[in-house]
Amino acid sequence: MSSSEVAASDASTSVLGSGAATLNNNSRLRRVLRRSEPTFAIAPFLIYAFLGLGIPSLAVVYQAFHAQTGGWTLYNIRLVTHGVFLVGFENSIKLGLISSIVPGILGVFLAYAIQTSHSNVLRRLTSTASGVLANFGGINLTFMFIATLGSTGILTYWLHDIGINLANFGFNLFTFSGVLFVYMYFQLPLMVLVITPALGGLRPSWREAAENMGASSWSYWRHVGIPVLMPSILGGMLLLFGSAFAAYATAESLTLGLVALSPIQIGNFLNGNVIAGETHVGYAIAFGMLIILTVTMVLYSLVRKRASKWLR
């Protein structure tokens, strides 16, 4: 808050309030307190965020450049940019991209279908379900999908009864395609959560204006709807990318840690499944993930800046 605003609100208090006299007595102290009030009020949050987000990130960077014996080294970084670790990054990025683009597009349709249904019950059910399911994952999710699409799963049976064998289509729950399909279970709700406010920002008057000028439904979406929504959709997809890129528990329990993905590789180093004394390689992989995600974040904030221009 600028000092002129403070002065203005002080003036309004003295006009409105009964305590004009008391205000004068310690007005200087008050002004100092007032000016530092925003800092005090916001400080706990910023300190907490720094301790919980900043310190761990800095520690990862620091440890990535250190050897087990102490002292600076580039050995860890060189190691993780080659061989199986590079494949891990590639797989993770590939998985992140596919499982952000596909649920990203489907999520828009789903959110739009829910929003235009005008059913409060449906909206309440789906908004609560989105919140719960976006936090759902890991072993529980794996169990559910094994019971659904595993070799004795119920959907496998149902499809078998009508003569469809999923394995013939190259689908296997425990490989890349399976991980992708299962990830949708928390990615789609996350997209619905993120995109619903943006859909609410589409004004009916825009549609009416377009129709008055003779636009078809398609040309409305082509020239108005999609351009307006595009920044939010891209922003949502970037979030989904981060979330899929980061997911550890689901991938680990589904593939038993056998598919080369960066989070699983970090887990292996920390669990001591790999030769002891090489935990710093894990830090280096974590550092690599941070770099990739920093790029994602920069893109996200650029996109968000454009999105907020329209949706006010």
Partner 1 sequence: MATLSGAGSIFEVAEAENEAVPSYSTGSPRRRRRIRWWRLVVLLLAGAYFLIPIYAGIKFSLQNVEGHFSFQAYRALPSAPGFTGALTLSLELAVATMVVSTLLMVPTAIYVHIRLPQLRRVLDVVTVMPIVIPPIVLIVGVLGAFPEWARASPYLLSFMYVILAMPFVYRSLDAGLGAIDLKTLTEASRSLGGNWIKTLWRVILPNIRPALLSATVLTLALVFGEYTMASLDLWTTIPVWIVQFSISSDGPVQVAASMLGLVGTWILLIAVVSLDRSQSRRSHRKLGA
144 touching partner 1, by CB under 8 A:
yes
Which segment (72-80, 160-168, 171-179, 291-299) binds partner 1 by CB under 8 A? 291-299
Using CB under 8 A, pick the residue from 4, 15, 16, 161 that binds partner 1: 16
289 touching partner 1, by CB under 8 A:
yes
Segment 222-225 long-range contacts (CB within 8 Å, at least 24 positions apart): none
Contacts of 250 (CB under 8 A, 6+ apart): 137, 138, 141, 142, 179, 182, 183, 186
CA–CA separation, 64 and 74 (whole Å): 8
Angle at 237 between CA 150 and CA 117, to 5 degrees: 80
104 touching partner 1, by CB under 8 A:
no
Closest CA to 129 of 195, 182, 181, 186: 186
Which residues from 169-188 bind partner 1, rule CB under 8 A?
A: 184-185, 188
Using CB under 8 A, pick the residue from 19, 20, 270, 306 that binds partner 1: 270
Name the one residue in this structure whose structure tokens are 């003036």.
11
74 vs 122, which CB is nearer to partner 1?
A: 122
133 vs 180, which CB is nearer to partner 1?
A: 133
Number of residues that bind partner 1 (CB under 8 A): 92
- Residue 27 CB, nearest approach to partner 1 (Å): 18
Contact 81, 292 (CB under 8 A): no
Question: Residue 129: what residue type?
Answer: A
- Residue 256 CB, nearest approach to partner 1 (Å): 11
94 touching partner 1, by CB under 8 A:
no
Using CB under 8 A, pick the residue from 80, 95, 102, 110 that binds partner 1: 110
10 Å Cβ neighbour count for 65?
17
Which residues from 24-83 bind partner 1, rule CB under 8 A?
A: 37-38, 41-42, 44-45, 48-49, 51-53, 55-60, 62-63
- Residue 174 CB, nearest approach to partner 1 (Å): 15
- Residue 143 CB, nearest approach to partner 1 (Å): 5
- Residue 252 CB, nearest approach to partner 1 (Å): 8
132 touching partner 1, by CB under 8 A:
yes
DSSP state of 272: T
DSSP assignment of 174-211, as one string?
Answer: TSHHHHHHHHHHHHHHHHHHHHHHHHHTS-HHHHHHHH
Quote the tokens at residue 224.
């108005």
Q: Is 221 exposed, middle or buried (0-12, 13-18, 19+ CB in 10 A)?
A: middle
- Residue 94 CB, nearest approach to partner 1 (Å): 16
101 touching partner 1, by CB under 8 A:
no
Which residues from 188-247 bind partner 1, rule CB under 8 A?
A: 188, 193, 197, 200, 202-204, 207-208, 211, 217, 239, 242-243, 245-247
Using CB under 8 A, pick the residue from 195, 254, 293, 307 that binds partner 1: 293
20 touching partner 1, by CB under 8 A:
no
CA–CA separation, 192 and 306 (whole Å): 20
- Residue 63 CB, nearest approach to partner 1 (Å): 5
Using CB under 8 A, pick the residue from 10, 75, 97, 153 that binds partner 1: 153
